[in-house]
Amino acid sequence: MYSSSSLVRNSRKHVSRLLHHLTNSLKKKHQHPYPLVLRFSSAAAKPSSSSSSAAAAAASSTLGRYLGYGVLLLGSGLATYYFYPYPKPRSRAVVGDDEEEHEEHSVANWSGTHEARTKVYIQPESLEELEVVVKLANDRKQRIRPVGSGLSPNGLGLSDEGMVNLALMDRILSVDQDTKRVTVQAGARVEQVVAALRSHGLTLQNFASIKEQQIGGFIQVGAHGTGAKIAPVDDHVVSLKLVTPGKGTLELSRDSDSDLFYLARCGLGALGVVAEVTLQCASAHKLLEKSFVTNMKQVQKNHKKWLQENKHLRYMWIPDTDTVVVVQCNPLTEGQVPKESMSHKYSEDERLSAARTLYREVAAKFFSAPLGHLSDEELFSLSFTELRDKLLAFDPLNKAHVIKVNQAEAEYWKKSEGFRVGWSDEILGFDCGGQQWVSEICFPVGKIQKPDLQDIKYIEQVLKLIKKQNIPAPAPIEQRWTASSKSPLSPASSSSTSSDALYSWVGIIMYLPTIDDDQRAAITKSFFEYRKATQQQLWDSFSAFEHWAKIEVAADTESLSWVQERLRKRFPVESFQRARAELDPNNILANDVVDCLFPRLVSTEA
């Protein structure tokens, strides 16, 4: 088990200096001339499994309490000192005895499609510090939008007005092997949690494509993996600790204010700052992965069986080819040795040969001399996804060229058929490729025992749309499945009391393989035309709604009103808005995305 005690490592000189500046700031009440990038000075103790005597525990508790008071006092002073508005950046200021220059804090999502520049970026190290920050921000009506790892394609956690990040609150607080549950601070990354669980023989129930997400953001956006009987990750939350501007710190679970608990599990960071999370885990296990290539006709014939027989199933459709990559994953029992051969028929060089050949052919046309080409050494060092970016960069919106790249990808996957074995977190993650625009929708597709095949019909319609409108759509169109979630704001939420409701998630994509601003702008325009075509022609008829981390806010009033109306019909928006008014009366946790999707039309009092 892990200790939750903390140590305060401030020297007396440092404490005196902070109190001195706190006193001066309260007297002067002047505007601070530099931005806030505030990291509190306490440091959490490392996890420890050692026990102590009752007397030592009591002494430690007393010392910890008084040290905690000191932290609260310092935190209050620092936050008060720093929460004043700020003029232009890049000016200089004296902090203690040291003079240093500060600039705006810039945070961008991983694709570089959204960015925020803020003068208020706070990283508390403890629950107590977070509580001080939220209270003072609320008192001063200072926005502090919760932001995690900044991975959301739509920049859901970004705000120019201010952000709070829990990267320094990343401890594993407890692991219960009997109940298979783990409690963590919300800033812990998925990969950290998995590593901590390994020694206890546990793991998380499912994984998205990557493991860099902070747990808080992971659950708040309704992230998901794939598995027809496995719900999105918000549904794995057993309890959570929510720091709210209006009601202080709330401990929520199924047994304690269950309605708010379910609403807050996938609350988009708008109901409070998630500080701690308890997750239901699973026994650590290895998976046998089988990858093979087939076509639409075979998928239509076998889809129901594959959904029901495989714990994890994923399709990667390759536009303008009759090719779909099928990835099936199933658990191995402890000690089980798979009968299948783990060796691939083709070497990595043979698998990449078609893509490398295409690169040389295209490069020869674009460059009159080999000076601009990748050297053979550089070319042979690239993975397929890296090579795909290089190929698309030549002419990313040329339909004929994109088809050739897709054909090379189909060839790569045909030569990559085979099996592999690994821990579930290793197998279920995959390379998403380079920077990109992506839109992912979720829609109901019957029940696990009786799929209605709407998921396959949707793909058929998308592929026809790509051909008809001559869309330069790169691969893959990714398709996954989950069970339903009891969280009302989850795109996979279901009004059915049955637990076997089935949802499909489909993502379309366009890569941004260049740093050229004009080319990126052209790709962006083309992507939004692609997305709009699916939106207008398919979403309503399939009851499809976008992933919260991938929903892009419409620029024009008419389109935005259409989105808002659809959200009101699908989700309990009135309940969500009432909870926001009560828990965040001054709307300090929102940003432009939240405000646009869920406008608060009437001001409320705390």
pLDDT in tens, 526-542: 999 999 999 999 999 99
Q: pLDDT digits over 67-93, tens only?
A: 444 544 454 444 444 443 333 333 222
DSSP secondary structure code for residue 513 in this structure:
-
Confidence of residue 372 (pLDDT cuts 50, 70, 90): low
Q: What are 18's two structure tokens?
A: 């902070």
The one-character DSSP state at 275 is E
18-22, 268-272, 352-356, 410-414: lowest mean pLDDT where? Answer: 18-22
Burial 221-255 (b: 16+ CB within 10 A, else e): bbbbbbbbebbbbbbbbbbbbbbbbbbebbebeee
How far, in Å, CA of 273 to CA of 268, rounded? 10
* pLDDT for position 593: 96
pLDDT top residue among 334 and 254: 254
Q: Please list, in sequence order, all residues whose beta carbon lies within 8 angstroms of the beta carbon of residue 35, skipping any fewer than 6 positions away.
A: 86, 89, 102, 103, 104, 105, 118, 119, 120, 121
Q: Any idea what DSSP says for residue 51?
A: -
CA distances from 451 to 57, 95, 483, 500 (A): 57, 63, 12, 10
Residue with tokens 């304690």: 256
Query: Over the stretch 508-528, which tens digit does the pLDDT of each residue have?
Result: 999 999 989 999 999 999 999
pLDDT in tens, 375-385: 889 999 999 99
Residues 476 and 492: their CA atoms lie apart, in Å, by: 22
Q: How far apart are CA 105 and CA 97, in angstroms?
A: 23
For residue 225, give Cα distances in angstroms to 108, 293, 313, 481, 516: 24, 21, 10, 8, 33
What proportion of the chain, given as a percentage, has pLDDT over 70? 81
* Higher pLDDT pick, 103 / 42: 103
What does the alpha-carbon distance between residue 321 and residue 323 come to, in Å, rounded to a whole number? 5
> What is the C-alpha separation between 512 and 392, in angstroms, rounded?
9
pLDDT band at 498 (very low <50, low <70, confident <90, very high): low
Q: Return phi, psi of residue 158, to 5°.
A: -95, 145
Distance CA 547, CA 568 (A): 16
Mean pLDDT for all residues in the chain: 84
Could you give the CA distance from residue 119 to residue 34 in angstroms, rounded to a whole number? 8
Q: Which residues partner with 481 through β-bridges?
A: 504
pLDDT tens-digit map of 174-197: 999 999 999 999 999 999 999 999
| More confident site: 356 or 374 | 356
Q: What is the pLDDT, as a whole number, of residue 127?
A: 97
**SS3 string of 302-315?**
HHHHHHHHCCEEEE
Residue 460 has pLDDT above 60, yes or no: yes
- Rounded-to-integer distance, Cα 539 and Cα 31, Å: 49
